[in-house]
Amino acid sequence: MKKVVVTGLGVVSSIGIGKDDFLKNLIKGVSGIRRVALFDTAHFKRHYAGEISNFNPSDFIPSEILPFIGRASLFSLVAGKLAFKDAGIKESEIRKKKTTILMGTTMAEAGIYDFSSELLFKEKWNGVTNTLLLNAFTASIPRNLGYILKLRGRNFLLPDACAAGNYAISYGYDLIRKGDADLVIAGGSEALSRVAFQGFQRLYAMAPKKCRPFDKNRKGMLLGEGAGILILEEEKHAKSRKANIYAEVLGYGLSSDAYHMTIPKKEGIEKAMKKAITKSNISIRDIGYISAHGTGTVQNDKNESLAIKEVLGKHYRKVPVSSIKSMLGHCMGAASAVEAIACCLSIKESVIPPTINYKTPDPECDIDCVPNKARKATVKVALSNSFAFGGNNCCVVFGKG
């Protein structure tokens, strides 16, 4: 079977646009959490999120297109263009290959529903245009990516919520290994919306101002937004064009809890982690870093910690485990894609990002969560955990390329 490698990284986040700014601020422990300005939160109990405030898509995309594309699609388009540039592949060259687009999301262009419902509430019926409706379709994110880039290969949206990005990477890995694709554009994209913001508040899952994964006094998650895209290709092809290889995708593991809509089950997490380790042909002692799902909610962090301890056994204290959601917030469908990028950069740059806002140890989460400061370390293997609502779990293993 063919080896699958990562040759391009594109990221749009609240702490940086492009992998260099993203990595710089990630390692500094910069927080992208700020008071929401995208919509009015005056009637909400919570007011903070990882909103992207310095985003100018016209730097990457023709300005005449901008009014016709939703915010989540714009994020993915910019991340895609950054990933192609980073991979050293011209867009014209991509069109000659068997190319597949795989994008994950939780709520797609939910911001368009916000806007259209506001128009209807004000009885501005003519404001609901054809363009608005076309962009409201769930599959608009990969469709817009394929349309703008003129790519006519496979085109999929994976609506697997918070694990969607990892599902996209896993499917892309399978397609390349089997020879069904030469190159895969895999990732996830999500934009903040009123409906998501209020929805998570109604679940009583949101913290007031700070996300504190694994801290005893954690109060919940905070939402974020952005996009992460990885360019996947077969190793021999990448080497033939002398591409920069960030990491190899070694394998993945899937599981379904069939337990609870919002609370992950420890046994389901364990199963996905164990499958990923087994399919990647690695030992637990090979793992140098775990990128935690780490939402900052009481049950998630507890169950993830217990699962890590169960899977790693006595070795668990020797493996650094951090949650970058402490800096970005929870980017929903983009979360695991952005975290996969962090894993690739961790391997390439020999550094482990921190879990910020950590103050009080929790005996139920007695893992090494890399508190507050990044750590220089040689990382040969990184495990990316992602656990979605409905119990959809996906863990991906990256190795040194």
Q: Which residues are catalytic?
A: 162, 293, 330
Backbone angles phi, psi at 206, to 5 degrees: -100, 135
**CA count, 13 A, side-chain hemisphere, 61:** 26
Instruction: Give the distance, in angstroms, between the CA of residue 71 and the centroid of all CA atoms in the same chain.
Output: 16
Q: How far is CA 163 from CA 3, 263, 337, in A?
A: 23, 14, 8
**How many CA atoms are closer than 13 Å to the CA of 380, on its beta-carbon side?**
7
Helix (H) or strand (E) holding 238: helix 235-240
Residues forming a β-bridge with 375: 352
CA separation for the pair 296, 298 (Å, rounded): 6
First to last CA, the chain: 16
For the chain, the 3-state helix, strand and coil shares in percent, each to the nearest 5, are 40, 25, 35
User: With contact defined as beta carbons under 8 Å apart, do 102 and 146 qualify?
Assistant: no
The whole-angstrom separation of Cα 197 and Cα 362 is 28
How many other CB atoms are there within 10 angstroms of residue 123's CB atom? 7
Q: What is the dihedral of CA 55, 290, 254, 231, to 10 degrees?
A: 40
Q: Which residues contact 139 (CB under 8 A, 6 or more apart)?
A: 108, 155, 157
Q: What one-character DSSP code corresponds to residue 286?
A: G
Asked if 366 and 381 touch (Cβ cutoff 8 Å), the reply is: no
Instruction: Give CA separation, 159 vs 49, 111, 178, 297, in Å.
Output: 22, 16, 23, 22
